[in-house]
Amino acid sequence: MIGVLAQASTTDFDIFVQTFFKATALGSLYSLLALGFVLVYKSTQTLNFAQGAMALVGAWFLSLVFIDWDFPARWLPGPNWLHWIIALLVAAAMAAVMGMAIEKYTIRPMIGQPLFSMAMITLALEVILRTISFDAVNLTTRSLGVPWGTRIFMLGGARVAWSYIAATAMALLAFVAIWRFFKTRMGIAMRATSFDQEAAMAQGINVSRVFSIAWASGASLAAFAGVFASMSPWPSGGTANRDGAFFVFRALPAVVLGGLDSVVGALVGGMIIGFSEIYAGQYLANYTGVLGVGYQQVIPYLVMLVGLLVRPYGLYGTVEVRRV
């Protein structure tokens, strides 16, 4: 199965398979970002527009830990990939701390303010974090030292990049972890808080801790998504770049399509958006003259618009009961 010798002529089916893996990977990345959104929205009722920028900062953290500080290799023996994974975890932990700090100093004082003021704060954070990651630390020229680099393997006649497999595995892992987390004590507390904050407080749940854990996990999920979105086969090509910011803005349709407050919605929405983007990019390429260059990047928004017209609260979102 794996080998460079199997250079059979690529059939239509092979292209379909190839596209399938790419679409799954992109869908996974969107789902990861959407999951972070949903966790934060469910518990703190804040729409975190800075999720994308936090992903960029997460990628910078990895580059800082793994390349600049050479942190795990200095202390531990062992193979390169193990060091990389440790560095990834350290970067995610750093992102979690950043998320907690953001929650503590900018979101918590705003509790009780209109939802839109909070959303605006996260938009301002987006501007700050994006400027820092592009202009101050020059993310565009940084390497992430990905162990599998640009390597691909052959599945029949289809060429599949290892990065695609890694991204899908990462998303699977994250969703299983979150699903397990919801069964734990803290997870139940989080679900209770999202259901009714005051009732949860009356039951002795530490709501502010739930908030900071939600932001911490949202930020580290963003960091994972940022790292896996900055790998080679994606347009950014091994280093994070400015397109990354727009890439992460395209995760918004995934959240909205799935429903702002549904974990299942994040998965399904992310996959729908990822598949429609990649398959449209593959099979409508002949019509580029009519549709314009880069038309596939608009597909997520079109899918979102159509989806919202049919179901205004997304596929799995809670329908808001409107009272006088």
Partner 1 sequence: MRGRPGLYTSYEAEAALLPTRTRKVALGLLILVLVLMPFSLPVIDQIPFVRFLGDAPWLRVVNRALIFCIAALGLNLLAGLAGQVSLGHAFFMGVGAYTAVLMGGVSTPHLWGWGLPMWLWLPASGVVAAGVGILVAPAAVRVRGLYLAITTIGLVFIGLHLSRVFEEIAGPGALGRKWPKLQLRLWKEEEPFLDFSGNGHWFWFDVNRTQKTYYFLLALLVLFALAAANLARSRTGRSWAAIRDRDVAAEIMGVAEFRAKTTAFAISSFYAGVAGALLASMVGQMNPEAWNLLLSVEFVAILLIGGMGRVSGAIMGTFFVVLSPRFVEQFIGWTADQAEGDGLFSGFWDLLVVVGSGDFGLISVTQQALGFPLPASALDEIIYGVLIIVFLLFEPLGLFGIWVKVRNYWKGWPFSY
Residues contacting partner 1: total by CB under 8 A: 51
| Segment contacting partner 1 by CB under 8 A, of 59-67, 172-180, 253-261, 270-278 | 253-261
The radius of gyration computed from the CA coordinates of the chain, to the nearest angstrom, equals: 20
Any idea what DSSP says for residue 139? G
Amino acid at the residue 318: T
Q: Is 268 left (phi over 0), alpha (psi -120 to 50) or beta?
A: alpha
Q: Is the Cβ–Cβ distance between 56 and 130 less than 8 Å?
A: yes
| Segment contacting partner 1 by CB under 8 A, of 56-64, 176-184, 203-211, 246-254 | 246-254
Task: Candidates 4, 5, 202, 309: give the one binding partner 1 (CB under 8 A).
Answer: 309
- For partner 1, the closer of residues 178 and 254 by Cβ is 254
Beta-carbon count within 10 A of 9 CB:
6
Coil, strand or helix at 156: coil
CB of 100 to partner 1, least distance (A): 17
Does position 302 bind partner 1 by CB under 8 A?
A: yes
Coil, strand or helix at 261: coil
Does position 260 bind partner 1 by CB under 8 A?
A: yes
Any idea what DSSP says for residue 107? I
Alpha helix segments (H runs only) across 230-298: 243-249, 251-258, 263-283, 288-291
Does position 286 bind partner 1 by CB under 8 A?
A: no
Phi–psi pair at 234, nearest 5 degrees = -70, 160
Q: DSSP labels for 171-191?
A: HHHHHHHHHHHTTSHHHHHHH
- For partner 1, the closer of residues 17 and 219 by Cβ is 219
Residue whose C-alpha is closest to residue 275's, from 14, 11, 21: 21
d(CA 304, CA 314): 9
Beta-carbon count within 10 A of 231 CB:
26
Residue window 42-61: x/- pattern of binding to partner 1, with contact defined by CB under 8 A: -----x--------------
- For partner 1, the closer of residues 92 and 256 by Cβ is 256
d(CA 321, CA 169): 37
CB of 277 to partner 1, least distance (A): 13
CB of 35 to partner 1, least distance (A): 17
- For partner 1, the closer of residues 122 and 232 by Cβ is 122
CB of 260 to partner 1, least distance (A): 7
Does position 213 bind partner 1 by CB under 8 A?
A: no
Does position 294 bind partner 1 by CB under 8 A?
A: yes
Binding positions for partner 1, 98-157, rule CB under 8 A: 106, 109-110, 113, 115-117, 119-121, 123-128, 131-132, 134-138, 140
Q: Interface residues with partner 1 (CB under 8 A)?
A: 47, 106, 109-110, 113, 115-117, 119-121, 123-128, 131-132, 134-138, 140, 249, 252-253, 255-256, 260, 291-295, 297-298, 301-302, 304-305, 308-309, 312-314, 320, 322-324
